[in-house]
């Protein structure tokens, strides 16, 4: 079932999400300060390409409060807009019965967009 969902997701926009996050990640990686944020964009790209069957979990990090600081910086400089975009499309897709599984995937991406540091993808 995950394979079918991922194929439909890719056909109806998942491939565009993938390329947008890849390009954003490459642009962010041009500066040394932007590398950690670019790596998070790459995390988004692979989840955005095929979100069905992917689990996002919180990880205990050895960096202390650094992930919290990075999440705050991420949220201020664009993460809130990414999260709101996924919230909008998730709510829009949940208006129809057929769109509910795809809306749930947008909600999953919204959770990741809100605080990507300190999360791992399985």
**CA 5, 11, 12, 14 torsion-angle sign:** positive
Q: Which two tokens stand for residue 64?
A: 């202390």
Local confidence pLDDT in tens for the 122 residues of the chain = 899 999 999 999 889 999 999 999 999 999 999 999 999 999 889 999 999 999 988 887 666 688 889 999 999 988 899 999 999 999 999 999 999 999 999 999 999 998 898 888 88
pLDDT at 62: 67
Contacts of 76 (CB under 8 A, 6+ apart): none
pTM of the prediction? 0.87
Q: Which two tokens stand for residue 37?
A: 């944020």
Separation CA 54–CA 109 (nearest Å): 10
Separation CA 109–CA 79 (nearest Å): 11
């Amino acid at each position: 079932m995950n394979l079918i969902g991922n194929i439909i997701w890719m056909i109806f926009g998942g491939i565009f999400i993938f390329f947008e996050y890849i390009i954003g990640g490459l642009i962010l990686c041009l500066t040394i300060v932007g590398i950690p944020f670019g790596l998070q964009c790459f995390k988004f790209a692979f989840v955005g390409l095929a979100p069905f069957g992917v689990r996002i979990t919180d990880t205990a990090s050895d960096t202390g409060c650094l992930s919290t600081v990075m999440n705050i910086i991420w949220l201020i400089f664009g993460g809130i807009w990414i999260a709101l975009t996924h919230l909008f499309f998730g709510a829009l897709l949940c208006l129809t019965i057929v769109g509910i599984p795809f809306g749930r995937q947008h909600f999953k991406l919204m959770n990741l967009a809100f605080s990507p540091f300190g999360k791992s993808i399985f």
